[in-house]
Structures are given as structure tokens and as C-alpha cells.
Amino acid sequence: LAPIRRRCRPSSSGQPQAVKGTSYPRNEQAAPGRRNRRESKMRDIVVLLGPPGAGKGTVAPIIQNKLGVPHLSTGQMLRAAVKGGSKIGTELKEIMASGKLVSNSVVLKVVQERICQKDCDRGFILDGFPRSLEQAKMLNDILSQTSEGVTLVVEIRVPDEVLEMRICGRWMHKGSGRSYHVKFSPPKSMKFQSNGEVDPATMKDDATGEALYQRKDDTATALKQRLKLYHENNNALCKYYRKVLKPVNGNQLIPKVQAAVSRMMDDHMTSTFVERNPYNLVDNENIKSKL
């Protein structure tokens, strides 16, 4: 499908407005996943859900390559906004410097500014937003102004006990963001103490030799609280997005998870092609070759 340029800009109220001279079909009450059938060239808007340690970073590149759209993680968007020095970036920098939590409205402004950029003409993948039902409804309010909605929600499901094993053994390199795991992907320098525990002094980055660190919330106690909050919010999100929700079993070997996501995306792209081109007499066997 040919890319389409979304001409929008934030207003003083924080909501995107159509540029003068640009016409958009009206559909202000669009529900999640609903699309205006009169507009055949729609953006692919994907939301990626999954608890900490589920493997969203493994799944996202597959979706990105299939659709040809950017992967937008909340953390990356916030850091880019601060670095860019825009009005919202300056506001965000002051909030973060004060140690305060970033409000939903500020996060929404950052997301809104980012999804209007040129590389999002064909769509985008949101990772880490929305995190709650309130955020999902705020996102839908923005998208409905251009007669759009979330077209696919990919939920990676992993049992809590498996997540604990994955996360509590995780070590990070601050400079690059490289991730290691004492069991699945240990650094070459890792050694054990006499009691069988990992020696923290030996945890070094393979590339730079710099010390690795563990996040404060990558402990069993902190993880239990994080997962409790995640499940409360995620249950509401899954119900809200039920018409476009596609679950993936993340509790299997990485190649199997990748293959499952690849098949799911092929099915999604085929059904989307047929829906957006209802009058094209295309043999079903040839649909995928046209995507």
C-alpha cells in the first residue's frame, strides 16, 4: 500500500488539528479498531502489550519489518523529546529533573508529536503506551480525529514465575543498554563466589569491559508489585481492545515465538489487504505476494 502523509499538528489544547486545506472524513466517535471504509489507505497502528521480561524487544523487530513502520518505545520517545529541545521536551526535562512522575497528559503530548512525523506516514508500533485504560482512551481520542484507530494489539503472555526467573537474573550496560542474563546470556567475564552466587565485581560488558548493573526494580519483591499493577491495567486494556487483540505465547524458545509472530503478521496483513480492497478480484493465493 502506498504511504499516505498525515498532516496534523498539536494545538494549544494538546490535540492535533487538521491543517488548513486538508480534508479528513468525520468519525469522532470511532471505537478502538474501527476504520472508515471510505478511506482505503489507512495507517497500520499497532500496540504491543506484555509484562516486563516478556520479550517485547524480540517481537517488535518482526512486526516492524513486516509492516515497514517505526517501533516507538515510550522511553525512547521521552528521551528524544528532551534531546530535541521542543516546547514539550523542555517541559518534560523540567519534570524529570524535579523527580516528579510524568503525567498522562505530558506523555500523550510526546506521543502525539512523534506520530505526526513523516516516518509514521504508513503507521507505527507503540511499545509501553498505552499502559492503562485511561491512556488508551486518550490515544483513541487523538486517532479518531483523523478517522483512525488501533488496528492490531499484540499481547505477549508469559507466566509470572517464568518472568521472575528472567528478570531477577538480568544485568544491564548503562552506556549502550545492552542486556545480559546470568543463565541465558551471561557476560564472558562472569564468575561465581564460593557460595554459588554470581560475583557482582565480575559482571562486565563484553564490548567495553565496563561494569554492569542491576535495576533496583529487578528484584523478586519489586517485580511482584510491578506484575500486580501490570495485570490490573492489562486486563482492562485487553477488554478494551478485544476486537483487535492477538495473543502470543511468549513462554517458549525465541525462534518459536518469532515464528508465531511472523505467521500472525502474515494473517493480519492478508485480512487487512482484503478489507481495504474489497472490490479487487485477487486470487487468495496471490494476496501475500502483493503486500
Q: Which of 35, 56, 66, 204 is catalytic?
A: 56
114 is an active site residue: no
Specify the pTM: 0.73
34 is an active site residue: no
- Whether 146 and 15 have beta carbons less than 8 Å apart is answered as no
160-193 per-position pLDDT tens digit: 999 988 888 889 998 887 889 998 889 999 999 9
Is the predicted pLDDT of residue 209 greater than 60, yes or no? yes
Q: Which of 34, 109, 114, 170 is catalytic?
A: 170
- Whether 27 and 35 have beta carbons less than 8 Å apart is answered as no
Q: Which of 215, 224, 228, 290 is catalytic?
A: 215
Q: Which of 131, 157, 246, 276 is catalytic?
A: 131
226 is an active site residue: yes
Nearest to residue 10, comparing CAs of 89, 109, 157? Answer: 109
The Cα–Cα gap between 8 and 85 comes to 20
HEC secondary structure over 100-151: CCCCHHHHHHHHHHHCCCHHHCCEEEEECCCCCHHHHHHHHHHHHCCCCCCC
67-121 per-position pLDDT tens digit: 999 999 988 898 888 888 888 888 888 887 887 778 898 899 999 999 999 999 9
Predicted confidence at residue 21, as pLDDT, reads 42
263 is an active site residue: no
Number of alpha carbons in the 13 Å side-chain half-sphere of residue 247: 11
38 is an active site residue: no
